[in-house]
Chain A
Amino acid sequence: MYRYDEFDAQIVKERVAQFRGQVERRLSGELLEDEFKPLRLQNGVYLQLHAYMLRVAIPYGQLSARQMRMLARIAREYDRNYGHFTTRQNIQFNWVALKDIPDVLALLAEVEMHAIQTSGNCIRNTTSDHYAGAARDEIMDPRPWCEIIRQWSTFHPEFAFLPRKFKIAVTGAAHDRAAIRVHDIGLHMRERDGVRGFEVHVGGGQGRTPHIAALVNDFVPEDRLLDYLEAIMRVYNLHGRRDNKYKARIKILVNELGEEEFTRQVEAEFAAQRSHEKIDLPQAEIDRIHAYFAPPELATKPETSDVFEAAKASDKVFARWARTNLHPHVTPGYTSVTVSLKPIGGLAGDATDAQMEIIANLAETYGQDDIRVSHAQNIILAHVALDDLPALHAELDAAGLATPNESLITDLIVCPGLDYCNLANARSIPVGQAVQKVFADPDYQEDIGRLHINISGCINACGHHHVGHIGILGVDRKGEEFYQITFGGRADEKAAIGDIAGPGLKSEDVPGALKRVVDRYRELRSGKDELFIDTLGRLGHDPFKEALYAAD
């Protein structure tokens, strides 16, 4: 993974000093809350319902064991012994005191981490495929370019006060696991005539007006990528709407101008760049950054493992977990392991300090010191030998981290909702827990197969409800919480926004209604290998709407 050199370390150190000064000026009253707001917001500090929240950047979701241990320490010493991993591959601490935040940032800087631009109307953490550099279906590793984008976008003087927040995602595999088509910019790595480059999608997003991104350029060669991004950002910075915060995202600009006109403006700006304006990243720098992401040196092993096969044959619990929580690795004899943060009835994405310590230890022992955070709010150990899986599973299980549900119906994406968030209209967490309980039986879950349920507690869609195969949106109607159900959303290369099924349901009715929908799917599917989303595509939504509203 990437390591800071003296320049990176200096910039992060200076950020800590700068923010310490800003906090001092706020605490002394020199800065008004209104003036402090954009400063704290560029540094991941939100004022939430109960306290300040600190969001720490995990660039493209990758962590070392040392970094994970520092997150555990912060959870222990400055929070209430836990942290919350987010859908943008970051981590949030919900109970940090404002006066302590500079000290927390100083600790993060010790392990090459920061909270720069994790909030505010600027370019946020660049996200990516959580199996990057490990997946068998990967064409190119997106992480080096994520790191290049991280550096380019850090304290970019032109794009620090955009109309609205800005999110970039990059993937390098055939199957899109980074949801690039619902990002402000989504980059899909391509190769053409031996040249590496990017397919550029712009204007995707969720929130109150969801959009699938427009394909703006089908191939930008890698040595022009940053110039192309600058052209997009400049068009957006100058012309994005600033009169209404709900119409300020780039998706609205793309939509109001039309894809063709937006593309024309970007191409015109790109073409107008004079030679001295071009970023002209030296090839030596591109190579330097790529070198940090060389694959780990893994001992040669056969494709199958006798230890693994024997454990599967003798231990049903292990065998189930091995069926659900592993992902094919590019190297024979290895796999990527999902450490589920979705125990039944738990808090999606939360990990205690003790669990973080355990994950750090396991990553060192079995996982090449390489930890990932997925946008589905789980942890991944990217490179694990099949031989080590029984031992790893036993340790995860003892720590409550071996729930066998990766991409199954209980692997819900859930926003913090009204329990924590001051934007929310409705609670998300208890609804998610109630849904999980209905589907808790592991045989039942496995029979249902891959099915993504995503829950948001308000229209801002932090829980990605628009792109859940089944989406749940909490709304407030005259002081009572209701939940709108959507069908047919997806976040992958066939990205689509779900359609609202009909009137909202009361919270207590949601689990039963979803069970009827799922059981209808099990009756109607053409076979066990037809996923819910595919049955829905084949038959349309009507049978499922009917099941949703069928009276008990």
Chain B
Amino acid sequence: MPLIKNGAEIDDIWAYVDGEAELSEGGCFTVPLGRFLAEASTLAERNTQVGVRLSPDDDAALLEPYLQQIQLIEITFPKYTDGRGFSQAQLLRRRFGYEGELRAVGHVLRDQLFYMNRSGIYAYETSRAALSEVLEALKEYSEVYQPAAGGRVPVFRKRHGN
């Protein structure tokens, strides 16, 4: 599936491994949260990169002790009406200070991208929006009313000169 990250379409070097299947040598894999927590110490010993895929009912706070060793967290949006991933992203970015990649996977539609971007999700796995549309969607609003993980300055600060 096409991957758009930081405003460009890129090749995806990551693969998601469902269940307990063995991780082959040398690849970059994401695994479900449960497996990651169970195997955190062995996964850390692999000399390749390790990532986690969160499902909407996962508690993102469980990742807090491991955030330094994780390069990618995938946030699942199983359908566009399920907005739990937005809270997971805000928690990871703002409360726990995660600085690695957050990637939206699942049913990722153009019209959620602005909110995802504001939640600190800068990579989108989507077949439903071409690069040009993604770039357009991210520019739809030039001002925002509230602080969020995306780091934009809300208008209540701009109004008072900071």
Binding site for B on A (CB under 8 A): 5, 7-8, 10-11, 14, 17-18, 22, 35, 38-39, 121, 151-152, 154-162, 234, 237-238, 242, 272-274, 276-277, 279, 281-282, 284-285, 288
Contact = CB atoms under 8 A, between A and B. Distances in A.
A160 B83 contact: yes
Given A160-B115, A161-B80, A162-B83, A35 B90 contact: no
Contacts of A156: 145-146, 148
A157 B150 CA distance: 10
Contact of B146 (A273, A279, A282, A284): A279
Given A11-B141, A161-B80, A282 B160 contact: yes
Contact of B81 (A7, A18, A161, A276): A161
A277 B94 contact: yes
B69 to A, nearest CB: 22
B81 A38 contact: yes
A273 B147 CA distance: 13
B99 interface: no
B118 A38 contact: no
Interface string B40-82: 0000000000000000100000000000000000000000111
A11 B94 contact: no
17 contacts: A7-B159, A10-B142, A38-B81, A155-B141, A157-B86, A157-B90, A157-B148, A158-B87, A158-B90, A160-B115, A272-B95, A274-B95, A277-B94, A282-B156, A285-B156, A288-B159, A288-B160
A158 B145 contact: no
Interface residues of B, number: 36
Given A160-B83, A161-B82, A162-B83, A7 B160 contact: no
Given A14-B141, A121-B81, 20 more contacts: A10-B143, A38-B111, A151-B145, A157-B90, A157-B119, A157-B148, A158-B83, A158-B148, A159-B86, A161-B81, A161-B82, A234-B87, A238-B87, A272-B95, A274-B94, A279-B147, A281-B156, A282-B156, A285-B159, A285-B160
Residue among A157, A161, A162 having the largest count of chain B Cβ atoms under 10 Å: A157
Nearest to A120: B81
Nearest 8 pairs of A and B residues by beta carbon: A161-B83, A157-B118, A7-B155, A157-B115, A285-B156, A151-B145, A158-B86, A284-B160
